[in-house]
């Protein structure tokens, strides 16, 4: 078969499902507002795992703005049923938060708002739990290029509510330097639209850093995943609505990508 990504001995690209959890229930936002509850996160997690998912991300979407601690019990319940890497974020502000989540069963810890407010958090967590386990999650929106934001993309925090006037490219590079092992590139403009990932943004950041990049926000069709992994040069794609509402199955998406020549893990 023609291998679109060319090189042999590359890692498989990953399909990651993101479960936004609010008050212990699965929620899905459209452009970060209008959250609707759509089910039991533990049950969904198990269903995706059995259908070949490569990695799971749990995000407590209320934690950051409400300063609440994550639902450790949800993480624990999922970790007992799902035997693939589990990544958790939302309101992680300290090594203690990260350690608690790791003990509950999270492999990787996502930091977002708190790292923007206090960048040393990335270095502290990397030291405590290893670079490869620290994921810097970035919420980004397009802005007019300016002296403060020369890339034309700005970092936004607190669930998309607070623009920071920080350049997204500069922050990605700083996050890598501080010890982040992966980047999640979440486009607020694309989030929930199902119109496709922000390809230009994803490609710009993928080409700028040496750590793996996960494209997030906007997936609606299988082609969008293919585009993010090829044109966008992402190492992984994150999906939510596409699978949560039953429009697509995890295995169906992986098979589609595999059939188009993307290296995917196909036995599960």
- Residues involved in catalysis: 20, 139
Q: Are 216 and 225 in contact (CB under 8 A)?
A: no
The residue ranges that bind another protein (CB under 8 A) are 7-12, 14, 49, 52, 54, 79-80, 83-85, 102-103, 105, 107, 130-132, 181, 210-212, 235, 265-268
Nearer to another protein, 117 or 127 (CB): 127
Q: What are phi and psi of 240, to 5 degrees?
A: -140, -85
86 or 157: CB nearest another protein: 86
CB of 65 to another protein, least distance (A): 28
How far, in Å, CA of 78 to CA of 180, rounded? 24
Residue with tokens 């967590």: 125
Residue 154's SS3 state is strand
Q: Output the six-digit token pair for 88.
A: 């958790």
Residue nearer to another protein on the CB measure, 246 or 267: 267
To another protein, the closest distance from the beta carbon of 182 in angstroms equals: 8
CA-CA distance, 207 to 181, in Å (whole number)? 15
Look up residue 191 and give its DSSP letter. Answer: T
Which is nearer to another protein, 168 or 250 (by Cβ)? 250
Give alpha helix (H) positions in the chain: 41-50, 63-66, 72-79, 95-104, 113-117, 120-129, 168-178, 199-208, 222-230, 241-244, 250-259
**Least CB distance from residue 98 to another protein, whole Å?**
11
Cβ at position 1, least distance to another protein in Å: 13
Residue number with CB closer to another protein (196 or 212): 212
Report in angstroms how near the CB of residue 103 gets to another protein at its nearest: 7
Query: Are 260 and 228 within 8 A, CB to CB?
Result: no
């Amino acid at each position: 078969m023609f291998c679109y990504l060319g090189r042999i001995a590359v890692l498989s690209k990953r399909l990651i499902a993101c479960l936004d959890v609010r008050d212990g229930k699965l929620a899905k936002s459209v452009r970060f507002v209008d959250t609707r509850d759509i089910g039991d996160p533990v049950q969904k997690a198990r269903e995706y795992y059995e259908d070949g998912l490569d990695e799971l991300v749990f995000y407590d979407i209320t934690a950051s703005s409400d300063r609440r601690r994550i639902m450790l019990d949800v993480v624990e319940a999922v970790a007992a049923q799902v035997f693939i890497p589990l990544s958790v974020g939302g309101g992680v502000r300290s090594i203690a938060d990260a350690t608690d989540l790791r003990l509950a069963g999270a492999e990787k810890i996502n930091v977002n708002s708190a790292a923007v407010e206090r960048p040393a958090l990335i270095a502290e967590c990397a030291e405590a739990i290893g670079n490869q386990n620290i994921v810097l999650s970035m919420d980004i929106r397009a802005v007019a290029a300016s002296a403060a934001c020369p890339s034309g993309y700005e970092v936004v925090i607190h669930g998309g509510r607070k623009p920071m006037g920080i350049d997204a490219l500069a922050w990605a590079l700083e996050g890598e330097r501080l010890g982040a092992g992966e980047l999640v590139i979440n486009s607020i403009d694309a989030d929930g639209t199902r119109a496709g990932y922000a390809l230009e943004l994803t490609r710009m950041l993928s080409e700028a850093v040496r750590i793996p990049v996960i494209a997030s926000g906007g997936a609606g069709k299988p082609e969008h995943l293919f585009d993010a992994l090829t044109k966008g040069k992402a190492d992984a794609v994150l999906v939510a609505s596409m699978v949560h509402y039953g429009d697509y199955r995890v295995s169906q998406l992986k098979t589609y990508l595999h059939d188009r020549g993307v290296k995917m893990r196909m036995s599960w």
